[in-house]
Each structure stands twice: as structure tokens, then as C-alpha cells.
A = this chain, B = another copy of it.
């Protein structure tokens, strides 16, 4: 096994990271992380190899419980999937507001929608830099359904508040919007104003919010006795294919309304409708989830389901700080009421892209 050490032999003074161990042993970050926790999911051979390697390079897994007893950092760690996304930016603004009011600092890390980066970021921050997490899952984490890194942190006594992209499998405090209900109400609004052929432009199903919005859309059609047409449901996996898929829909089907799960899909729909001489809102009504900067400045301006990102961020920060500052044993962990899920209300912001009658 000697050959695998040579690459980092010159770096022995430096702290070895999960990622370096994974690279040197040619296994995934998740395998390293689980091996160091003696997870039965990993073969004994691999576990022993990883542990030996980590020991040799003096790798220290985080010892959160210990650090928690010793000091408070007064710092909140936020992990979000991406930053070039107005919704996540507004959530961070909300977290910052409450943090400023209560004397906390905020550190933000991006998972870039990658499972490995999410694991690495949590590992890094949990290692004494912060008191607790506010996080939204990466797409890849949702796809894998592997939450060991988050459960680990919670088990060691560090509070984690999840928002927006959450998982039922993780027992912790959560802040969500009722995506199902919000989609249901938006579709109902379109039907009440005369739409009959309503398309849904969504993401792939493993992203939890996309799934819930699809279910709300389907239920609203069903309750209004409108037949579901599979060809009206456009699933966009990759932003590159967004234009061509929407163009195909509008060109081949005479839909009279579109509900898009984000602003970008909505504004692309409007641009393509214009190019096909389909008038928005007279021939086609458009509603977008997320009330961001695009919707306000697009021509026509876009009717949106506001997710109240600032409110969501504020609520998440309040819940985390309450956990951090509550007296020990004020709440019993095994109490069924111990963890709470807060639902932030959404609202439909009417603008020029929808017809009302």
C-alpha cells in the first residue's frame, strides 16, 4: 500500500482532508466519511484501509460534542446549493437580518449541487467554526438519498435547520413553503380565469419541491375535471435544453397557460411566445414560482408565487438561535413535539403576464 502515500508525503505537515484521502485511496468522499464512522454500509476491508490511512496522516474527524461544550462561536453556518439564484440570496438576506439583530455572524458555503461538496463543507464548518447549520439540500444529495453527514452532525448535538429542499428521513427542524398547496392555488387561479390547457414546466422529480408542485398541479386539474395531458408536462433536467423543450411545447401544442417552477423558465417561455407571435397574456397566461428580480423587470412583468425567501431565512435563523440559546433539557429530545416544521405562507403576486376576467 506504500505507493499511495507518495503524492502527499511532502505535505505531511499540512492537515489532510476527507477529499485528499478519497483521492489517494480512489474511493468516494462519502466512503471515507462513512468508514471513519465505522458504518456497516462499507466493507471491513475498505473501512480498515481508510482508518489506517487517516491515522497515519493524523486526520481528525470533527468532535462536535466536545467543541460544543467548550465554546460558542456565535456563528451560523449556511449551506446552499448555488448562489446565482435569487431565492437563495433572499433567504441569506433573511438569515443575515436576524443574525445582525442577535449578534451572530454568518458563514455561507456552496454545495454547487454536489453531494461531495455538501459533505466536505459540513465537515469543515462543523469542525469548530460554527454553532449550528441552516441548509438546503443539493440536487445530488436528494437524488442519492444519502443523508448520513447531516444525521451525524445532528446526533453529535449540533442543531441543523433545513429549509426549502428538505428530506423526511432527517429528524430536525424545518422551514418550508407548502409547495403542493401553492401550485394547487396557482393552477386554480388560472382555471378560474378561463385557462383550460395548462402546461407545467418543471424540473426532474428527485428535487422535492418540483415533485410537490407537480402533485399540486395534478390535483388542481383533477378537482376541476380537466384531463391531464402528459405532453403538457415539460421536465427540464438541464438548462441547455430549456429553450428547445419550451419552443417545442408552444409550437406544437395550443396551450393557454403555463405554470413554471422558476422565474427563468417563465421568462424563457415569454421570449419564445413572443417569437412565435403568441401574445402574453391574451393568448397565454404565465405564472412563475419565485418572486425575483427577473419577474419584476421582464416585459410583460410576471405574475409569481412568492416564496418569501426573506421570511424563510428569518424563520430558520430564529429557530436555530432558539435551539442554541435554550436551556439544556428545556425540551426533551424524545418528545414527539421536539422537532418542528414551520410552513411559510406563499402569496400570488399578480402582474401583467396573466389575464383576469
In chain A, positions 93-144 with a C-beta closer than 8 Å to chain B are 93, 96, 100, 103, 105-110, 112, 117, 120-121, 124-125, 129
- Selected from B83, B109, B271, B294, the residue in CB contact (under 8 A) with A107 is B109
Interface size on A, residues (CB 8 A): 45
At the interface with chain B, which of A41-49, A69-77, A212-220, A342-350?
Answer: A69-77
The answer on a CB contact under 8 Å between B109 and A106 is yes
> Copy number in this complex?
2
* Residues from chain B with Cβ under 8 Å of A106 in the complex: 109-110
Besides the known contacts A83-B93, A264-B297, A293-B294, 16 further A-B residue pairs in the complex with CB atoms under 8 A apart: A14-B71, A15-B72, A17-B74, A75-B124, A83-B83, A84-B89, A84-B93, A92-B110, A105-B120, A106-B109, A107-B108, A107-B124, A107-B125, A108-B108, A267-B297, A294-B297
Instruction: Give min CB distance, A215 to chain B, whole Å.
Output: 29
* Residues from chain B with Cβ under 8 Å of A129 in the complex: 107, 129
Is A20 an interface residue, CB under 8 A from the partner? Answer: yes
In chain A, positions 223-271 with a C-beta closer than 8 Å to chain B are 264, 267-268, 271
What's the Cα separation between A121 and B129 when bound, in Å? 12
The answer on a CB contact under 8 Å between B89 and A112 is no
* Residues from chain B with Cβ under 8 Å of A117 in the complex: 100
What's the Cα separation between A105 and B89 when bound, in Å? 20
* Residues from chain B with Cβ under 8 Å of A298 in the complex: 297-299
Instruction: Give min CB distance, A260 to chain B, whole Å.
Output: 13
Residue from the set A93, A108, A117, A271 with the largest chain B CB neighbour count within 10 Å: A108
The answer on a CB contact under 8 Å between B121 and A105 is yes
Instruction: Give min CB distance, A328 to chain B, whole Å.
Output: 13
The answer on a CB contact under 8 Å between B105 and A109 is yes
What's the Cα separation between A267 and B299 when bound, in Å? 10
